[in-house]
């Protein structure tokens, strides 16, 4: 049993100091093994797939993009070890998405690293950590977010709910930690402002990833007479919740943040149809042939769906910045990326310079059967219900960006 | 627990022989930074240092006191939180230029963690220590789950999911150590690890340390001769909690961030894993375990997506075939060398090693093939220079042949090994 | 209000019965061999995955029968080739073995069936409502689960109390050596009990899979709660495990159903505290999943032998 230990010990010695200058390395620091791997693996495959396209189109300012996967087991401390490994390996671009705790650790570590090591700056491209603080009071020059933050998503979602006069009673159910509490708070404030007549008939918190049986919560929702449920739940917490609701014949729709994340469609099947809505930057219809091609190819190659349009946007913007700056140095690229505009399949998106928060249109979609491009090999996918324009999604920021001289 | 040998008999006279391991390890700690040259190496060393103290403090409970705990991370995490809050207090106080904390250097944070860990153990420990064994294991499991959940519930203390973070480059500096890079932090880590390991070793030589072995081996007899086992367990619990907190304080300075998940079952399980892999019965066993498990945790996943499976298999193999752990193995060789029987025993051991290598090669190949068959390419298989294809029957046959050959060698040489033992 | 009480009771009983199916096997193993099997929930998970794979070929009902048998056989092998080896090194070594085994099984499941959940569902006809009350459906499947669990409880009771094998098992619980001296093959009995316990976990998995979810994390989250049931119920007491399961199931559901925070309760007793404070604002609903562990610690401090147990662990 000692053999593997020795081999990788030897390998780790070899690894030290083998940075090559030809490629630009982008390190994905996300869970790639263990119980949370289903969250990190699709992003990894997605990035590798998109990198091929970028490289076929000339790469970043002529240099090839290489994706390096580093496993952090969603642990902030382990992420810092992996970050150091990446830096030693010559990585100057880091991306991560799962867990605000990890994002928080990376932001402060990269900020310190860049301060302590001028000339070796590292850029952090955040594709899914949605804590609004990262582009408000904790904003950092070295951090760019390519996903709408939690408040922006709620802003779009409440616009949609406010426009629907049938909804009079809303139930909130969220995970009991900082993100879930932020979702609940934003929902209450924004609904109060947009539709004072809507009554919040329940505001539940349950522990993160601990509840196996959601039926008691569903009974409560049922007896409250809610017309709609809003939840920020992700992973098993959203699947089990909607599944329990379907089994008890609860008719109210579920407005979710992560209804289309991996595994949900497979487990819900027809229980999710017309019941589960999601707010995201994209949906599952793929009427753009280019996007349809990507969906088909990615699923054939890696058995993951084209869920992260924002990863494509992120790499396209990275390419555009590098080409514009005629450099792949993070300092130049960061400068070029501020205020960058990009035309995507859903419309124009802007990387706002004041807080490095992307501004983009969002979509409400609902799960349907018999879709042309089914998710996860099923016939189900998310069909567009409404588009919320970029200006309507946008929120002001409190960020006071400290730019390096 | 009878297989756990007691530590070497007390030596009253001063001897260089007893001192030599300490001198050697101090020398290694001093020389290492001049051999290592990458930030990764220093970062890994720092992680290993934290884990060494954490695993050793855990072994005070399990190896020496016979108390199996599933909640040791509570002390580690709370110690870390205390140190982090203290670090932020230093930050604020030195900004204002006055106050008690303005005079405290960050270098002393492990002491803050130690006090916190000890206090927590003191407050909650008494009802827990009535019994060892399963009852203790279960009650610590419950404690761990409760504290971890509380960590998410009180954001003002624990900072919610994002945790609390700080800056180690504040307050008065000692010895010009500004703690900017991992290489600076190394000296801090080396100092505290050496001190903590020495203190924990010294603890085993105190009457209380001896008593903890007694309470592990036969609590009833201890009761009869007038030492209530519960009191002894309580004292071990406090000592172990203090050192767990000290490791937490070291972690706070190293990572500059602490999150509630550090309090949970996963880090507690890690402590158990490290101690058991290294060996519960040898004092330095957990040190070996901490080094091996930390490296596997941070490096193995670069080569294979089945890394956790390998860690689990190594653990399982050690529990089944080498219950004394890696440290026990080293101790075997050391004793043989001292008794001059190494030459006689070595051939037997080598046959065993050949068998183990063959079996593990076969297993690794099997797992990697399984992986390729289910999920496509994996770098580990290529790393061996073996581009086996999962579709071809021959590669599966090869894996089985390797495995079978290993088992055969193990069987055939069994008698040879026993004769030369 | 009435509907909440009725459905909370039904849900609590259903969840409690599922817990009991899981913990009854563990209680048997624990009381006989003194091993708290950390991998027990992993066998539960294997049951669900086996039934999923078999169910696609042979249908739900045959899988309900075959999957537990397969899991039981696997459990027996684990006992024979693994646990028995480490038995001589004491209970801690045995516990460590099952701890490592849980790791390995969880990873193997991910390796074989993938990291994403699989679509293991009950047959279509069982999704129809059994009855509808206050606009809420109660599916046939849930009724079937309750029936299976109750049937299992009765069968288990009959097996232990009325058959010769049951007599041997009960004798071996308290007087293992004596049973051996009388010429019975105690190691084989151990193997049988371990396999049987795992089969019960597998059966729970076949049912729990469609009821909750079949995914690689299903063992990790349920594992500790099963321990709680066994310890709270009392070591070696099947009846104790039954009561403890129902107790935990009902407490959890009712805590969720009661919409009150700590401040509401204190204020009801005439105290005046801030209803939105960090401590006082905590609701009972958010505490619900913690109640098993609070119960565990309290029981171990104040009544270490559990609700119905005769021996302290």
DSSP A355: T
Residue B269 and residue B403 share a domain: no
| CATH number of the domain to which B195 belongs | 1.10.3470
pLDDT at C181 over 70: yes
Give the chain B residue whose CA is nearest to the CA of C282. B153
Q: For residue A85, list chain B residues with Cβ-Cβ distance below 8 A.
A: 40, 43, 298
Note whether A144 and A100 are same-domain residues: yes
- Residue B12: band (very low, low, confident or very high) from pLDDT cuts 50, 70, 90: low
Distance CA(A324)–CA(B201), nearest Å, equals: 61
- Residues B251, B350, single domain; the answer is no
Helix (H, G, I), strand (E, B), or coil: what is residue C306? coil
Write down the residue that tokens 């516990």 correspond to: C95
Query: Residue B311 falls within a domain, yes or no?
Result: no
Closest by CA to A286, choosing from A179, A155, A382, A154, is A382
Identify whether B10 is part of a domain. no
Task: For residue A278, give how far its alpha carbon lies from the nearest alpha carbon of chain C (Å).
Answer: 19
All residues of chain B having their beta carbon less than 8 Å from the beta carbon of residue C85 are 320
Q: Which residues of A touch C256 (CB under 8 A)?
A: 204, 206, 216-217, 220
3-state SS of chain B: helix, strand, coil percent to 5? 75, 0, 25
The larger pLDDT score, comparing residue B261 to residue C262, is at B261
| B257 strand-pairing partners | B165
A·C CB contacts under 8 A: 119
Q: Does C104 touch chain B (CB under 8 A)?
A: yes
Is A400 inside any structural domain?
A: no
Inter-chain touch B308–C103, beta carbons under 8 Å: yes
Lowest mean pLDDT among A302-316, B124-138, B362-376, C136-150: B362-376
Indicate which CATH number applies to the domain containing A56.
Answer: 3.40.50.2300
From the list C26, C210, C221, the residue with the least C-alpha distance to C118 is C210
pTM listed for this prediction: 0.86
Chains that touch A (3 or more CB pairs under 8 A): B, C
Separation between Cα atoms, residue B156 and residue B251, nearest integer Å:
21
Q: What are phi and psi of B378, to 5 degrees?
A: -145, 140
Q: Is the domain of B346 the same as that of B215? A: no
Tokens of C222: 């349920």
Q: Which of B304, B329, B357 is the last residue of a domain?
A: B304
Statement to judge: residues A176 and A143 lie in one domain: no
Same structural domain for residues A349 and A371? no
Count of beta carbons in the 10 Å neighbourhood of residue C279 = 12
Same domain for B37 and B175, yes or no, is yes
Q: Which residues pair with A276 in a beta bridge?
A: A254
| HEC assignment per residue over A90-158 | CCCEEEECCCHHHHHHHHHHHHHHHHHCCCCCCEEEECCCCCHHHHCCCCCCCEEECCCCHHHHHHHHH
For chain B, percent of residues with pLDDT exceeding 70: 92
Whole-number Å distance between alpha carbons of B111 and B321: 39
Q: B296 and B352 in one domain? A: no
C-alpha C53, offset from chain centre? 22
CA atoms within 13 A on the CB side of B108: 13
DSSP designation for A63: B
CA A56 to chain centre: 26
Task: Classify residue B7: in a domain, yes or no.
Answer: no
CA A365 from chain centre, in angstroms, equals 16
What is the SS3 assignment for C137?
Answer: strand
Contact A261, A342 (CB under 8 A): no
Mean pLDDT calculated for residue range B97-103: 80
Using an 8 Å CB-CB cutoff, list chain C residues near B369. Answer: none
Looking at CA atoms only, how far is residue A278 from chain B in angstroms? 23
Task: Give domain status of residue B324, yes or no.
Answer: no
Cα distances (angstroms) measured from residue B240 to each of B6, B44, B49: 19, 24, 17
Q: What is the DSSP letter of B171?
A: S
Q: Could you tell me where the DSSP H helices lie in A16-59?
A: 37-56
Do residue B260 and residue B406 come from a single domain? no
**Burial (Cβ within 10 Å: 0-12, 13-18, ≥19) of residue C146:** middle
Which two tokens mark C27? 């209680």
Collapsing DSSP to helix, strand or coil, C21 comes out as helix
Residue of A nearest to C218 (CA): A212
Place of tokens 């375990």: B289
| Number of other CB atoms surrounding residue B110 within 10 Å | 29
Query: Looking at chain A from residue 26 to 55, which residues have their Cβ under 8 Å from any Cβ of chain B?
Result: 32-34, 37
Residue from A209, A214, A248 to probe the interface with C (highest C Cβ count within 10 Å): A248
The alpha carbon torsion through B173, B179, B184, B187 (nearest 10 deg) reads 60
User: For chain A, how many structural domains are there in total?
Assistant: 2
DSSP 8-state assignment for residue B6: P
Is A7 within 8 Å of chain B by CB?
A: yes
Together in a domain, A171 and A272: yes
Contact list, A233 vs chain C (CB under 8 Å) = none
For B135, name the nearest residue in chain C, comparing CA atoms only.
Answer: C313
With CA atoms as reference, the chain C residue closest to A304 would be C116
Work out the burial of residue A373: count CB atoms within 10 Å of its CB; fewer than 13 is exposed, 13-18 middle, 19 or more buried.
middle
Task: Spell out the residues 6+ positions from residue C288 whose beta carbon is closer than 8 angstroms to its own.
Answer: A206, A216, C251, C252, C253, C255, C256
Residues contacting A379, CB < 8 A, separation 6+: A369, A370, A371
Alpha helices in chain C (DSSP H): 2-33, 40-58, 60-78, 84-86, 91-113, 140-162, 164-174, 176-181, 186-211, 218-233, 238-257, 262-268, 284-287, 291-302
Determine the length of chain A.
405
Domain of A197 in residue numbering reads as: 151-280+361-392
How crowded is the C-beta side of C212, counted as CA atoms within 13 Å?
Answer: 31
pLDDT tens digit at each of 405 positions of chain A: 444 444 444 444 444 434 444 789 999 999 887 777 888 888 999 999 999 999 999 889 889 999 999 988 888 888 988 998 899 888 999 999 888 888 988 998 999 899 888 888 999 999 998 888 899 988 999 999 999 999 999 999 999 999 988 899 999 999 877 788 889 999 999 999 999 999 999 888 887 777 777 888 888 888 888 999 999 998 888 888 888 888 888 889 999 998 887 778 888 888 888 989 999 999 988 889 999 999 999 988 888 889 899 999 999 999 999 999 999 999 999 999 999 999 999 999 999 999 999 999 999 999 999 888 888 888 899 999 999 999 999 999 999 988 887
Are A266 and C117 in contact by the 8 Å Cβ rule? The answer is: yes
User: Is residue B288 included in any domain, yes or no?
Assistant: yes
By Cβ distance, the residue of B130, B142, B149 closest to C297 is: B142
Answer yes or no: is B323 within a domain: no
Q: Do residue A71 and residue A129 come from a single domain?
A: yes
In a domain, A13, yes or no: no
User: What's the number of domains chain B is made of?
Assistant: 2
CB spacing of B298 vs A16 below 8 angstroms: no
Is A272 in contact with A247 (CB distance < 8 Å)?
A: no
Which 128-167 residues of chain C touch chain B by CB within 8 A?
none
Residue that finishes a domain, picked among B304, B325, B359: B304
Both B235 and B376 in one domain: the answer is no
To test the contact with chain B by mutation, choose from C107, C113, C285, C304 the residue with the greatest count of B C-beta atoms within 10 A, namely C107
Is A269 part of the contact surface with chain B (CB cutoff 8 Å)?
no
Same domain, A120 and A214: no
Other Cβ atoms less than 10 A from the Cβ of A119: the count is: 7
pLDDT tens by residue, C227-239: 889 888 887 788 8
Q: Which of A375-379, B109-113, C175-179, C274-278 has the lowest mean pLDDT?
A: C274-278
CA distance B129 to chain C (A): 10
The answer to whether residue B1 is domain-embedded is no
ipTM above 0.90 for this complex: no
Q: What is the mean pLDDT of residues B96-110?
A: 83
Task: Judge if B298 and B154 occupy the same domain.
Answer: yes
Cα R_g (chain A), whole angstroms: 21
Looking at the partner chain, which of A176, A202, A266 has a beta carbon nearest the beta carbon of C117? A266
Query: Within this chain, do residues A323 and A220 fall inside the same structural domain, yes or no?
Result: no
Residues A244 and A190 in one domain: yes
Distance CA A2, CA B406 (A): 14
As a whole number of angstroms, the distance between CA C168 and CA C296 comes to 31
Mutate to test the interface with C, among B142, B150, B304, B390 (most CBs of C within 10 A): B142
Give the residue among A184, A319, A336, A322 at the shortest CA–CA distance from A257.
A184
Q: Between chains, do A207 and B181 touch, taking CB under 8 Å as contact? A: no
User: Is A401 within a domain?
Assistant: no
Task: Please give the distance of CA A137 from its chain centroid, rounded to a whole number.
Answer: 20
Is the CB of C137 less than 8 angstroms away from the CB of A212? no
Kind plus residue range of the DSSP H or E element containing B164: strand B164-165
What is the C-alpha separation between B413 and C79, in angstroms, rounded?
A: 26
User: Which of C85, C297, C298, C302 is most worth mutating to test chain B (most B CB atoms within 10 A of its CB)?
Assistant: C297
Residue A251 and residue A170 in one domain: yes
C148-152, Cβ contacts within 8 angstroms, sequence gap of 24 or more: C148/C203, C148/C207, C149/C17, C149/C18, C149/C20, C149/C21, C149/C207, C150/C17, C152/C21, C152/C24, C152/C200, C152/C203
Region of B264 (left: φ > 0; alpha: ψ -120 to 50; beta: rest) is beta
Residues A131, A30: one domain? yes
- Are residues B373 and B254 part of one domain? no
pLDDT digits (tens, 9 = 90+) for B207-241: 998 888 888 888 888 888 888 889 999 999 999 99
Please check whether residue B417 is in contact with residue B351, taking contact to mean a CB–CB distance below 8 angstroms: yes
Q: Examine the domain organization and report whether B135 and B229 are in the same domain.
A: yes
In 3D, which of B178, B176, B181, B168 has the Cα closest to residue B33? Answer: B181
Domain that holds residue B249: 19-304
How big is the CA angle at A159 (ends A155 and A160), to the nearest 5 degrees? Answer: 120
Q: What angle do CA C54, C60, C66 make, to 5 degrees?
A: 55
Q: Do A101 and B161 touch (CB under 8 A)?
A: yes
Partners of residue C5 in chain A, C-beta under 8 Å: none
Contact with chain A for residue C251, Cβ under 8 A: no
Q: Which residues numbered 101-130 in A keep a CB inside 8 Å of some CB on B? A: 101, 103-105, 108-109, 112, 116
Residue B352 shares a structural domain with residue B266? no
Neighbours of B326 (CB within 10 A): 24
Q: Is residue A67 part of a domain?
A: yes
Q: Are residues A68 and A180 in the same domain?
A: no
Hey, is the C-beta of C288 within 8 angstroms of any chain A C-beta?
yes
Residue B374 with chain C: CB contacts under 8 Å: 111-112, 114
């Amino acid at each position: 049993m000692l053999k593997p230990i020795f081999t990788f010990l030897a390998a780790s010695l070899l690894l030290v100091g083998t940075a090559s200058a030809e490629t630009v390395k982008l390190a994905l620091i996300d869970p790639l093994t263990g119980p949370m791997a289903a969250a990190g693996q699709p992003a990894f495959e997605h990035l590798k797939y998109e990198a091929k396209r970028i490289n076929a189109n000339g790469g970043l300012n002529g240099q090839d993009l290489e994706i390096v996967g580093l496993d952090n087991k969603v642990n902030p401390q382990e992420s810092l070890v992996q970050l150091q490994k990446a830096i030693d390996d010559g990585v100057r671009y880091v991306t991560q998405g799962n867990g605000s705790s990890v994002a928080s650790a990376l932001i402060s570590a990269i900020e310190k690293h860049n301060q302590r090591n001028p000339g070796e700056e590292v850029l952090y491209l955040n594709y899914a950590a949605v804590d609004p603080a990262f582009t408000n009071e904790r904003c950092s020059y070295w951090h760019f977010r390519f996903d709408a933050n939690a408040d922006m998503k709620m802003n779009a979602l409440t616009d949609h709910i406010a426009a629907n006069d049938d909804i009079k009673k809303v139930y909130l159910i969220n995970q009991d930690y900082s993100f879930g509490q932020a979702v609940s708070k934003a929902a209450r404030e924004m609904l109060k402002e947009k539709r004072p007549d809507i009554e919040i008939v329940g505001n539940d918190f349950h522990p993160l990833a601990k509840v196996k049986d959601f039926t008691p919560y569903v009974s409560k929702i049922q007896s409250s007479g809610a017309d709609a449920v809003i939840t920020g739940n992700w992973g098993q917490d959203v699947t089990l919740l909607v599944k329990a609701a379907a089994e008890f014949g609860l008719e109210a729709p579920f407005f979710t943040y992560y209804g289309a994340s991996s595994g949900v469609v497979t487990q819900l099947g027809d229980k999710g149809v017309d019941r589960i809505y999601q707010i995201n930057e994209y949906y599952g219809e793929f009427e753009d042939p280019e996007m349809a091609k990507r969906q088909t190819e990615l699923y054939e190659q890696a058995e993951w769906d084209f869920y992260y349009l924002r990863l494509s946007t992120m790499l396209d913007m990275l390419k555009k910045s590098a080409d514009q700056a005629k450099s792949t140095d993070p300092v130049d690229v960061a400068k070029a990326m501020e205020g960058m505009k990009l035309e995507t399949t859903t419309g124009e998106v802007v990387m706002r310079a004041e807080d490095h928060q992307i501004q983009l249109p969002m979509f409400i979609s609902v799960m349907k059967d018999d879709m042309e491009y089914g998710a996860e090999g099923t016939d189900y996918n998310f069909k567009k219900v409404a588009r919320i324009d970029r200006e309507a999604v946008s929120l002001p920021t409190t960020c006071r960006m400290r730019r390096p001289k | 627990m009878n297989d756990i040998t007691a530590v070497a008999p007390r030596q009253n006279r001063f001897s260089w022989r007893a001192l030599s391991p300490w001198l050697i390890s101090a020398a290694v700690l001093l020389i290492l930074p001049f051999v290592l040259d990458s930030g990764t190496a220093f970062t890994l060393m720092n992680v290993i240092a934290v884990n060494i103290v954490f695993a050793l403090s855990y072994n005070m409970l399990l190896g020496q006191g016979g108390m199996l705990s599933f909640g040791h991370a509570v002390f580690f995490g709370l110690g870390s939180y205390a140190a982090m809050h203290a670090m932020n207090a230093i930050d604020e106080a030195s900004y204002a230029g006055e106050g008690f904390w303005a005079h405290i250097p960050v270098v002393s944070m492990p002491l803050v963690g130690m006090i916190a860990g000890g206090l927590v153990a003191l407050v909650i420990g008494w009802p827990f220590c009535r019994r060892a064994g399963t009852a203790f294991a279960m009650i610590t499991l419950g404690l761990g789950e409760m504290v971890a959940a509380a960590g998410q519930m009180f954001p003002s203390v624990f900072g919610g999911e994002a945790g609390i973070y700080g800056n180690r480059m504040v307050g008065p500096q000692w010895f010009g150590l500004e703690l900017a890079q991992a290489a600076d932090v190394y000296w801090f880590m080396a100092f505290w690890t050496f001190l903590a390991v020495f203190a924990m070793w010294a603890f085993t030589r105190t009457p209380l340390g001896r008593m903890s072995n007694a309470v592990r081996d036969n609590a009833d007899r201890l009761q009869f001769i007038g030492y209530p086992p519960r009191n002894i367990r309580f004292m071990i619990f406090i000592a172990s909690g203090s050192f767990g907190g000290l490791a937490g304080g070291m972690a706070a300075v190293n990572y500059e961030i602490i999150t509630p998940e550090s309090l949970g079952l996963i880090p507690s399980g890690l402590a158990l894993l490290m101690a058991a892999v290294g060996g519960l019965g040898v004092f330095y066993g957990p040190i070996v375990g901490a080094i091996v498990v930390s490296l596997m945790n941070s490096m193995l996943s670069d080569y294979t997506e089945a890394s956790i499976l390998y860690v689990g298999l190594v653990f399982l193999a050690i529990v089944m075939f080498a219950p004394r752990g890696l440290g026990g193995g080293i101790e075997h060789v050391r004793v043989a060398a001292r008794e001059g029987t190494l030459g006689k025993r070595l051939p037997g051991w080598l046959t065993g090693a050949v068998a183990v290598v063959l079996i593990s090669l076969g297993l690794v190949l099997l797992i990697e093939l399984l992986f390729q068959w289910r999920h496509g390419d994996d770098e580990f298989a290529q790393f061996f220079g073996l581009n086996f294809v999962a579709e071809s029957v021959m590669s599966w046959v090869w894996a089985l042949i390797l495995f079978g050959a290993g088992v055969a060698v193990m069987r055939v040489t069994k008698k040879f090994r026993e004769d030369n033992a | 209000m009435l509907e909440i009480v009725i459905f909370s009771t039904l849900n609590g009983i259903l969840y409690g019965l599922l817990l009991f199916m899981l913990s009854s096997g563990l209680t048997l193993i624990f009381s006989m061999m003194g091993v708290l099997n950390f991998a027990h929930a992993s066998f539960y998970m294997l049951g669900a995955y086996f039934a999923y794979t078999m169910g696609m070929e042979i249908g739900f009902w045959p899988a309900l029968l075959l999957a537990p048998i397969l899991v039981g056989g696997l459990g027996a092998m684990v006992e024979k080739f693994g646990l028995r080896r480490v038995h001589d090194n004491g209970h801690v070594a045995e516990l460590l073995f099952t701890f490592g085994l849980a790791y390995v099984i969880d990873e193997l499941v991910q390796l074989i069936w993938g990291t994403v959940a699989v679509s293991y569902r009950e047959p279509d006809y069982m999704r129809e409502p059994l009855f509808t009350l206050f606009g809420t459906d109660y599916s046939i499947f849930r009724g079937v689960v309750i029936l299976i669990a109750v049937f299992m409880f009765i069968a288990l009771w009959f097996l232990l109390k009325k058959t010769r094998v049951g007599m041997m098992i009960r004798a071996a619980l308290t007087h293992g050596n004596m049973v051996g001296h009388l010429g019975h093959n105690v190691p084989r009995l151990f193997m049988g009990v371990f396999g049987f316990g795992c089969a019960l976990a597998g059966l729970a998995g076949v049912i729990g899979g469609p009821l909750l979810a079949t995914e690689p994390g299903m063992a990790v989250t349920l594992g500790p709660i099963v321990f709680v049931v066994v310890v709270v119920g009392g070591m070696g007491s099947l009846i104790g495990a039954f009561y403890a399961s129902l107790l935990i199931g009902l407490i959890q559901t009712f805590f969720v159903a009661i919409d009150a925070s700590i401040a509401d309760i204190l204020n009801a007793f005439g105290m005046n505290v801030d209803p939105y404070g960090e401590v006082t604002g905590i609701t009972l609903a958010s505490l619900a999943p913690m109640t098993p562990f609070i119960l565990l610690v309290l029981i171990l401090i104040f009544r270490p032998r559990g609700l119905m147990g005769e021996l302290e662990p």
